Amino acid sequence: MADVAREAGVSHQTVSRVLNDHPNVRPDTRARVEEAITRLGYRRNLVARALVTKRSRTLGVVSFDTTLYGPASTIYGIEQAARTAGYFVSIVSLKTIDTHSVRDAVDYLTEQGVDGVVVVAPQYSASSALESLPAGMPVVAAEGTTHRADVSVVCIDQVEGAKLATRHLLEQGHETVWHISGPPEWLESEGRLQGWRAALEEADRPVPEPLAGDWSPRSGYEAGKSLAAMDGVTAVFAANDQMALGVLRALGELGVPVPEQISVVGFDDIPESEFFSPPLTTVRQDFDVVGRHCIEVLLRQIDVGPTAFERLVVRPSFVVRSSTAPAR
Amino acid sequence: MADVAREAGVSHQTVSRVLNDHPNVRPDTRARVEEAITRLGYRRNLVARALVTKRSRTLGVVSFDTTLYGPASTIYGIEQAARTAGYFVSIVSLKTIDTHSVRDAVDYLTEQGVDGVVVVAPQYSASSALESLPAGMPVVAAEGTTHRADVSVVCIDQVEGAKLATRHLLEQGHETVWHISGPPEWLESEGRLQGWRAALEEADRPVPEPLAGDWSPRSGYEAGKSLAAMDGVTAVFAANDQMALGVLRALGELGVPVPEQISVVGFDDIPESEFFSPPLTTVRQDFDVVGRHCIEVLLRQIDVGPTAFERLVVRPSFVVRSSTAPAR
DNA sequence: CTGTTAGCGCGTTCAC
DNA sequence: GTGAACGCGCTAACAG
């Protein structure tokens, strides 16, 4: 910066003003400085800037297994929105999620001087970790829940999504709908289970015992085999598309035609679902939007202060394809 | 830090020494300082530290569409390895990849003061962007290629993987193998195309015109329909699993039995492949390992200086499942 | 409109 | 083994 100042024949302060779009700079000095900057290929040092402004313009993201479609898409949305707003994104992906690991990750990010943190926290354990976070750091939870008044939440309405799926099946004339649930520690499992049960009860239908899955195609496959062995199963709602894929595979192996004999619905609408055999009817979640909302909320919190607690719920939509049909 | 020093009755230098595990500190003073640190809940300011050491302990990652399975897994590996080594990871994911956007991303990261950059650059355009990067910044390319002597590369042997797939099909007695390729601007498309062609030529077989895909299941679906309409097609090698899924879907729709009439092989081994109908024979890439290697190489480059250029090739493996069978 | 001065929180170099 | 001074590159506050 000193070099640029010398080159342009001004003080380093003026260079700083040009860099920060300060109004009080004469156009021609500004031009001289800008020219010097490009001539010297000068890049400012954001670390030094962060030291004095106490703002690093970096946001932290803590997530569990960024390899999964949901987290990956959410983070993508976060990153795009953050960069557009001029922020960097520093990521920590946890293999095991518990109160300590989330706390540690946030501490770690805090040392680095992040201005705020998004915790992608679809598990109860992660959500409870939110409770113990140090106050003062702006935090928003994506897909989480919390009792704290100073932590904002952005999430997709899981209950509504499950209702959409279940009602669709009921409208097709199915007597009831079986459910393959996700792992119990996930909020999304709980929400989908609730929505499914509520839709069934609203329609006065029997509520079968849900089958426990773990999000993996394999668990869906096992559940699918169990279902095929039972009597009277005509409609299945799997808590995600991977498990629905497993169901499709199991039924295919056993020669049970889908959707003729059994209708199947998933949840997520991963890019592959449209090309499953048969193409999967599913609930679409717009993770991108969730990511963008997270950044909006977080930046607002950073800028206007901790008063601006918000809770944003994104509505899912329903995609009908060929894995569902009217009951015979 | 001043507070801690006061609390422990020492100077802030001594606190700094304790924090950095400096040997010249008496055990009891060290204990006093450590106690003061925990009592005050002190966290050091890494920004200030970075300013004076000129090391931010942050690594940058530039990637295209982090939603895709390959990049997401690679980045996961990178993040794990980096954090283990005590580094932060700052991510930039590009929606369009060209020389300028990659350059801009690296510049952006440079301003932030990253100690090194991993460019996940499976496209030619990204690779060519590597050529124009400013010298001095340690850079490693994951899945890229470059003529620069100061940029290390870590990649998976695409040619070998394609040969594995093609030879497997040939060994099953198929006369030749058809290929659905990825988009031409991707290095991986090129490598897989080459490997497929080489394996065919080695065995003195006719080389059919490849069908152009774009990685999406839809493009595989279209290609599958074309293939079904042709005579004598008994074996297909799709350049990724998503396109293979599309092929499976198209053949299923048309009533062409897989693998009885047509055998299908994919590439990547995404978690879903095992549960396709039928389960997909495919080439497995260990993205995790690639990510870890990238960090190893990058850190070596940062520590020992720019002399340590390396090129690391990871071998893919082959997974036989039920989508391939002997030719009739 | 522009320059001067001070200091952000730390590590490094020297004294002691 | 420990402390005092100095400076990393920048912005804020004030002076001119």
B116-170 confidence digits (pLDDT tens): 999 998 888 888 888 888 788 899 999 887 778 788 999 999 999 999 999 999 9
Q: What per-residue confidence (pLDDT) applies to B151?
A: 86
Q: What per-residue confidence (pLDDT) applies to B308?
A: 66
pTM for the structure as a whole: 0.92
A74 vs A83: CA distance, rounded Å: 14
CATH numbers and ranges of domains, chain A? 1-44 (1.10.260.40), 53-156+287-316 (3.40.50.2300), 158-285 (3.40.50.2300)
Backbone angles phi, psi at A282, to 5 degrees: -155, 175
Run of H or E including A258: none
Report, as an integer, the average pLDDT of B194-209: 98
Q: What per-residue confidence (pLDDT) applies to A226?
A: 98
Report, as an integer, the average pLDDT of B24-33: 87
B217-259 confidence digits (pLDDT tens): 999 999 999 999 999 999 999 999 999 999 999 999 999 999 9
Decide if B275 and A221 are in contact by the 8 Å CB cutoff: yes
Joined together, the tokens standing for residue B234 give 């008994």
3-state secondary structure of B23: coil
A119 vs A142: CA distance, rounded Å: 6
Q: What per-residue confidence (pLDDT) applies to A131?
A: 82
User: A277 at the B interface (CB within 8 A)?
Assistant: yes
User: B66 at the A interface (CB within 8 A)?
Assistant: yes
Q: Which of B96-110, B174-188, B292-306 ranks highest by mean pLDDT? A: B174-188
Higher pLDDT, A46 or B328: A46
Q: What per-residue confidence (pLDDT) applies to B131?
A: 82
Question: Does the pLDDT of residue B307 top 80, yes or no?
Answer: no
Q: What per-residue confidence (pLDDT) applies to B92?
A: 95
Contact between B128 and B99 under an 8 Å Cβ cutoff? The reply is yes
User: A1 at the B interface (CB within 8 A)?
Assistant: no
- Give the CA distances from residue B241 to residues B206, B214, B275, B306, in Å, rounded to whole numbers and listed in that order: 24, 12, 12, 38
B85-121 confidence digits (pLDDT tens): 999 999 999 988 788 888 889 988 999 999 999 999 8
Count of CB contacts below 8 A, A vs B?
135
Average pLDDT, chain B: 93
B3-18 confidence digits (pLDDT tens): 888 888 888 889 899 8
Nearby residues of A328 by Cβ (< 8 Å), 6 or more positions away: A234, A260, A261
B49 vs B68: CA distance, rounded Å: 36
Which B positions 196-225 lie with beta carbon below 8 A of chain A? 216-218, 220-221
Joined together, the tokens standing for residue A214 give 């773990």
- Amino acid occupying residue A171: E
A160 vs B37: CA distance, rounded Å: 48
Run of H or E including A125: helix A124-131
Higher pLDDT, B2 or B255: B255
B210 vs A300: CA distance, rounded Å: 52
Decide if B277 and A246 are in contact by the 8 Å CB cutoff: no
Torsion B162-B163-B164-B166 (CA) sign = positive
Contact between B282 and B319 under an 8 Å Cβ cutoff? The reply is yes
- Smallest Cα–Cα separation from A81: which of A315, A252, A288? A288
Higher pLDDT, B149 or B62: B62
Residues of chain A below pLDDT 50: none
CA distance B20 to chain A (A): 15
CA B41 – C1' D4 distance (Å)?
A: 27
Q: What per-residue confidence (pLDDT) applies to A308?
A: 66
For Cα atoms A241, A245, A251, give the angle at the middle one, nearest 5 degrees: 140
